[in-house]
Amino acid sequence: MEKQGLKIVTIGGGSSYTPELMQGFIKRYETLPVREIWLVDIKEGEEKLNIVGALAQRMWDASPYEVKVHLTLNRREALKDADFVTTQFRVGLLNARIKDERIPLSYDQIGQETNGAGGIFKALRTIPVIQDIVRDMKELCPGAWLINFTNPSGMITESVIRNAGFEKCVGLCNGPITVMKEEPEMLGGKQEDYTWRFAGLNHFHYHRVWDRNGNEVTSEILRLMSEDDKTNMANVHDETYLSDQLEAMNCIPFSYHRYYYLYEEMLAHQKEDYRNGTTRAENVKKVEDELFELYKDPSLHEMPELLKKRGGAYYSDAACETIHNIYNNTGNLMVVNTRNRGAVSCLPYDSIVEVSSLINADGPSPLVWGDFEPSERGWLQIMKAMEECVINAALTGDYGMLVKAFQINPLIRHGHQAKALLDEMLVANEKYLPQFREKIIELKEKGIIIHDEKVRELCEQGL
In eight-state DSSP terms, residue 344 is B
The answer to whether 117 and 104 are in contact (CB under 8 A) is yes
Q: What whole-number distance in Å separates Cα of residue 294 and Cα of residue 55?
A: 10
Closest CA to 426 of 413, 442, 414: 442
The answer to whether 391 and 397 are in contact (CB under 8 A) is no
In eight-state DSSP terms, residue 298 is T
Q: What is the largest CA-CA distance in the chain?
A: 66
Q: What whole-number distance in Å separates Cα of residue 401 and Cα of residue 394?
A: 9
Our CA angle for 179, 180, 182, nearest 5°, is 65
CA atoms in the 13 A half-sphere facing the CB of 158: 27
Closest CA to 173 of 395, 353, 375: 353
The answer to whether 38 and 72 are in contact (CB under 8 A) is yes
Q: What whole-number distance in Å separates Cα of residue 282 and Cα of residue 301?
A: 27
- 17, 241, 256, 260: the active-site residue: 256
CA distances from 201 to 167, 352, 385 (A): 18, 8, 12
Asked if 256 is an active-site residue, the reply is yes
Q: Is 322 helix (H, G, I), strand (E, B) or coil?
A: helix
The answer to whether 402 and 387 are in contact (CB under 8 A) is no
What DSSP string runs through 260-272?
HHTHHHHHHHHHH
Q: What whole-number distance in Å separates Cα of residue 155 and Cα of residue 354?
A: 11
Active site residues: 256
